[in-house]
Chain A
Amino acid sequence: MNLRRHLPHYLMIAPFMILFAAFFLYPILSGLYYSFHAWNGVKTPEFIGLANYQKIATSRDFATAMRNLLTYVAITVPLGILVALGLALLVDNFTGRWANFFRNAYFLPVVLPAFLAATIWRWIYAPNFGLLNMMLGWFGIPSVNFLNDTGTMLYALVAVDVWVSAGFNMVIILAGLKNIPVELYEAARLDGASKRQQIVHITIPMLGPVLFFVVTYGLISAMQVFDKPWLLTGSSFTTYGGRRNALLFPVMDMMGRAFGGVRFGEAAAYGFILTLSIVALTAALFALRQWRGWR
């Protein structure tokens, strides 16, 4: 009886549920299944329990990739948001044509294909000929090979990532800024609050939900970093990670195991370790939000 009454509702959500099951649930469950098997993508999978997980957890490359990732996330997420917040506050002061110009100019890197962005930055970073080294040369600073020096490689990547992500974050923060009631600023001005005090005590707190979104989104994106370091270091399935693996990240390591070594079961286990890490970090962020009472 109930089924008959709710049939139209079930029919309405059916397309989504079918697509969800086919393209999300099934791949996840099959990935989980394969992660407990030795499987090359073709032959019958052989059950090996947790051996894939154990192999990954004890591998030197996994340790390197995780260390690189944590350093990268710790720098790139806060820096990216700070830059975006600064840009948003600046662009918010403009109106009309100028506002549109800056919004589009800063958003342009977001729509640029990763390959193009990497090509541009490889040229900027090129030793001797690169734009950056040319500029350093004006001050008598010797040429630096940013993408092959283990001391600079990670920061070179962070700069590219901030350049790409700042525009996206800026647009989100700008939308948040527009939603802050102007009365709050008027009242603060009447009370003699400086511009800095207005930003610290009105803008930042009122941007709380927006900043939480960009932090969460930034964290999830950064945890999955792949295309930019892959392209910047000219990687392939057998050579990746750059000099001394300074730009080796988990997704690259996973891809190498899948296509370089044709070990899809191991790659599936890697994917699950990475997914669980992302879920755990995101959950921690939500718990922190709850605990601190952020809106």
Chain B
Amino acid sequence: MGTLNTLRSGVAGLVALAALGSAGSAAAEDVTLQYWVYSDFAQGDALALQQEFIKEFTAKHPGVTIEIVGKGDDDLTAGQVAGAASGQLPDVFMNAQSVGAQLVDVGALDNLYSKWMAMPETFRAQFDADALKGCMPKPDELYCLPYTGFGSLLFRNLTVLEKAGIDAKTPPATWDAWFAQMKKVKEAGMYAIPDDTLVFNSVAEIYATSGGNDSWGFDWANRKTRIDPAIMTKVLQKFVDMKGLNSSTSRNDQATKDLFISNQLAFHNIGPWVNPTYEEAAKASGLKYDFVLIPGDTAGKTGGIRSYEMIGVAPGKHADLAFEFATYITEKNQMARWAKLLSRYNANAAAMADPEVSALPLIKVSVEAAHGAMDVAAPYFIGSVPSCYNSTVTDVAAATADGEYTPEAGAKEMIAQLNDCLAK
């Protein structure tokens, strides 16, 4: 019996040694993670900082290499969908929360909930609660870590306002005050605002001056729009009123930026990403501008939209390591360095509250804007928004501004078409 026990112990010991050996070789195995980022994060200073993050992470993880690849918005989505189909997904990647449902649908996103819950409470508490909620369609599902984001702002050309006889010291507090300024700008021979019927996000921005999250987005359970006809009627009336005042260029066109820089456009309502261009123009050509909150219908209410970008992790054998990397780059210290470098808002509330970060003027306004703004297309991760949805909103808004519908008829038609689009 004793001999048998000795033999058993010996075998167990050998098995344990073998297991340790194989574990050791697994740990030493070289791993390469594919990391896809937005193309503007893969160049210049932003790339240098990303590479610094990678260097810091890999220094603590011998044998791990991280390949960073920059891609345009559409390429990210198309690549992730195609990657899911072919089993060649990048391990960790950025994208907008608004395409999250598509990515979940094709199996490109790992459910991170258990890994997330295993993280210390101090880590979890860092993130903006709304941004985090956006990643969680159900209490036990978490498909992303909130990353960057934006709240849209009103960029004002102070030279144009001065020429139009407007006192720019106090920003307009309400829509009426803002609209009165727009009319003055036009009377002075300049453009007030870009054509906000051309881009879905612009329409949403103006909607947010009258409405908010409670009457926007999707009722996925009944596959209906949550847009309120009375609010949309009010919004469409605004587009009719602004028709003769706008530059007929979209907020995203280079032509709009050119008009602003050359003192022909008073207001540019857009995200903070245009600031580097305007900052450069201020240095090069003396552009005088500032950025304020988009005024809503009543004092204290702000318009504008917010949206978040996310970090996703692909399911697969490197998912744990990829998640670890994702938590490293979204952690407060990294996000604070990121915010300081780019002066860009992100979803790490602790980083935003860092005194050095919150003192930055663009960050300060962005944080306020994001908190008062309306989500672009929430709730995310529930269902894929059909492309007919966005085009219906812009088409009917443009048609109403062109006089094809009265605002009331336009709102009714838009809602009918949106419900029809969602029902299919």
Binding site for B on A (CB under 8 A): 40-43, 55, 59-61, 122, 126-130, 145, 148-150, 234, 236-241, 243-245, 248, 256-257, 259-262
Contact = CB atoms under 8 A, between A and B. Distances in A.
A2 B390 CA distance: 63
Contact of A148 (B84, B102, B105, B250): B250
Nearest to B85: A41
Contacts of B262: 129
* Chain A interface, >50% SS class: loop
Interface in B55-92: 73-74, 77-78, 81-82, 84-85
A244 B398 contact: yes
* Chain B interface, >50% SS class: helix
Contact of B388 (A41, A59, A127, A130): A59
A41 B195 contact: no
Kindly name the residue among A238, A240, A243, A248 whose own CB sees the greatest number of chain B CB atoms within 10 A. Answer: A238
Given A127-B255, A260-B387, A236 B74 contact: yes
A127 B259 CA distance: 9
A245 B386 CA distance: 16
Contacts of A256: 387
22 contacts: A41-B106, A42-B85, A42-B106, A42-B107, A55-B424, A126-B254, A127-B248, A128-B255, A129-B255, A130-B255, A145-B249, A234-B250, A237-B78, A238-B200, A238-B390, A239-B200, A239-B390, A245-B391, A245-B395, A248-B391, A261-B384, A261-B386
A259 B77 contact: yes
B85 to A, nearest CB: 4
Contact of A239 (B247, B249, B253, B391): B391
Nearest to A234: B252
Interface in B241-267: 247-250, 252-255, 258-259, 262, 264
Contact of A243 (B74, B77, B85, B198): B198
Interface residues of B, number: 43
Contacts of B395: 244-245
Which A-B residue pairs are the 10 nearest by beta carbons? A145-B248, A260-B387, A256-B387, A41-B85, A42-B106, A262-B102, A126-B255, A259-B78, A244-B398, A244-B395
A42 B386 CA distance: 18
A94 to B, nearest CB: 39
B248 A148 contact: yes
B399 interface: yes
A119 to B, nearest CB: 10
A41 B399 contact: no
A291 to B, nearest CB: 41
Given A59-B424, A126-B255, A243-B197, 20 more contacts: A41-B106, A43-B106, A55-B424, A127-B249, A128-B258, A129-B258, A150-B402, A234-B253, A236-B74, A237-B387, A238-B200, A238-B385, A238-B387, A238-B390, A239-B199, A244-B399, A260-B386, A261-B102, A261-B387, A262-B106
A60 B254 CA distance: 31
Nearest to B420: A60
Interface string B196-220: 0111100000000000000000000
Given A41-B84, A148-B248, A262-B384, A236 B73 contact: yes
Nearest to A260: B387
A237 B386 CA distance: 11
B81 A41 contact: yes
Contacts of A239: 199-200, 390-391, 394
Contacts of A234: 250, 252-253
B250 A126 contact: no
Contacts of A145: 248-249
A122 B255 CA distance: 9
Contact of B258 (A126, A149, A150, A259): A126
B220 to A, nearest CB: 15
A58 B386 CA distance: 15
Contacts of A55: 424
Contacts of B387: 61, 237-238, 240, 256-257, 260-261
